[in-house]
Structure 1
Amino acid sequence: MTLQDQRVVLLGGTSGIGLATARLATAHGATVIVASSNPESVRRALGVLPASASGTVCDLTDPAAVGAFFDRLDPFDHLVYTAGEALSLLEIRSLDLARARQAFELRYFGALNAVHAATPKIRRSVVLTSGTAADRPGAGWSVAASICGATDALVRALAVELAPLRVNAVKPGVVRTPLWPDDFDYTATAESLPVGRIGEPEDIAEAYVFLMNQTYATGSIVTVGGGNVLV
């Protein structure tokens, strides 16, 4: 399978899983366009991506900015949405509803609006990002699990509404990225997983590229979590 001569737009494609996906897509022959709200993150990403890549600064929570971004683009093959902010627990007993709503802004409503704005330009597929919190939440994960569950439902609904455009999602488990807290115990988590190690961004990138290439998959949510939903 190959992405040769295809154009991929990655929102959030400047660090972590998104950047790993951008790098792998270019290795498969794609031309990538990455976007992030952080100018320094865009600059760093373009420093490690091939010269054919391009990047832009865009506030993905601003519908007008996202609409203007896609208006400037020529038609492209795949939209990949990996944008997210640092993970934090929100316990019900001390819930700040404003923070809970804010958590949905980038991860869920940002993705929903991106698909809305981009659909007229997309030729082949959309790949969104969910998470295994929807299937195996812990204490304090009610908001995060809700976002992931909403994304799962969105993928299935969009796959029907936008057909024959394909819409899928990747559902990562614990992955070594800057979005996890500095004091997160990767060692203990690795020991609890059937695969015996923590995921790396490159592991997850393989799933995004697979879904871009897999022309018979739509409404699919691919879990890549080292078996964390089993234990």
Structure 2
Amino acid sequence: MSTSLSGRRVVILGGTSGIGLATASLAARQGAQVVTVSSSTDSAARALAALPAGTSAEVADLRDPAQIGAVFERVGAFDHLVFTAGEPLALMRLDELDIDTAREFFALRYFGALGAVAAAAPLLRPGGSVVLTSGTASSRPGPGWAVAASICGAVEALVRALAVELAPIRVNAVSAGVVRSPLWSRIEPAERERMYEQTGANLPLGRVGEVAEVAEAYVYLLRQSYATGTVVSVDGGTALA
């Protein structure tokens, strides 16, 4: 059985850019009442202009539990929580490790997600769900990926623990490979295209992904009524490369 999103309230933290925006758009087109949450007022405004009518936006620093809590107080009861927020992860080899920077990455991608679920859980309606975000670094790390791999691994462990603790609320995650996304916007355009080309050439599908393709996995997990504690990979075959 699949659950229709028509009339369901979906809160997407990080839903104003990249995979989060694509997920917000797809969920809204399937009838969901979407609330996007971003740390940037400008990003929230751009997203609202691009998303279907009826979408709303909140602005909050997802590293701050008080701001997260205030967002959910304003939102009230809802059905599904999606966490896609994240900044570009810098590669850090051990001989160049900056512990403070590593903690900052965990502050948003792991503790931000944990804090959001803790604040949202009392407001999730029966039949609701949570979808978090992992990545292929957890199973296919390379040199310099210790921090990124640790975050992804921690999120996947969190999914399993929360699926037990919050049952029957469903808790899952999507693990995405490299996709064309604003996440890579700090890289010069020519260098970014070379990265996409070189990465894609080593994958079974021969290309990197698109945000709309990954969004399909998030919406699938919102609608899939018998999946919990799972991580769905959308990686072009990264695990096989």
Tell whether the structures are fold-level matches, with TM greater than 0.5: yes
Which residue is equivalent to 1:52?
A: 54
Match of 2:212 among 202, 207, 227: 202
Q: Distance in 2 between matches of 1:228 and 1:102?
A: 27
Q: Distance in 2 between matches of 1:58 and 1:101?
A: 20
Q: How many residues align?
A: 231
Q: Is the 8 A contact 1:36 1:42 kept in 2?
A: yes
Which residue is equivalent to 2:163?
A: 159
Which residue is equivalent to 1:179?
A: 183
Paired residues for 1:125-136 under 5 Å: 125-136=129-140
Which residue is equivalent to 1:18?
A: 20
Paired residues for 1:1-231 under 5 Å: 1=2, 2-123=4-125, 124-180=128-184, 181-182=186-187, 183-184=191-192, 185-231=195-241
Q: Distance in 1 between matches of 2:197 and 2:53?
A: 37
Q: How far does the alpha carbon of each residue in 1:110-167 deviate from its partner, in whole angstroms, 9 at most, with x for none?
A: 0000000000111200000000100000111000000000000000000000000000
Measured after TM superposition, the shift of residue 90 of structure 1 is 1.1
Q: Is the 8 A contact 1:23 1:49 kept in 2?
A: yes
RMSD, aligned α-carbons: 0.9
Calculate the TM-score normalised by the size of structure 2. Answer: 0.94
Residue 27 of structure 2 aligns with an amino acid whose one-letter code is: A
Q: Is the 8 A contact 1:89 1:140 kept in 2?
A: yes
Q: Distance in 2 between matches of 1:91 and 1:37?
A: 29
Q: Is the 8 A contact 1:86 1:178 kept in 2?
A: no
SS where residue 131 of structure 2 aligns? strand
SS where residue 229 of structure 1 aligns? helix
- Which aligned runs of 4 or more in structure 1 are off by greater than 2 angstroms? none
Measured after TM superposition, the shift of residue 87 of structure 1 is 2.3
SS where residue 7 of structure 2 aligns? coil
Calculate the TM-score normalised by the size of structure 1. Answer: 0.98
Residue 74 of structure 1 aligns with an amino acid whose one-letter code is: G
SS where residue 226 of structure 2 aligns? coil
Gaps of 5+ in 2: none
Q: Is the 8 A contact 2:29 2:52 kept in 1?
A: no
Gaps of 5+ in 1: none
Identity %: 61
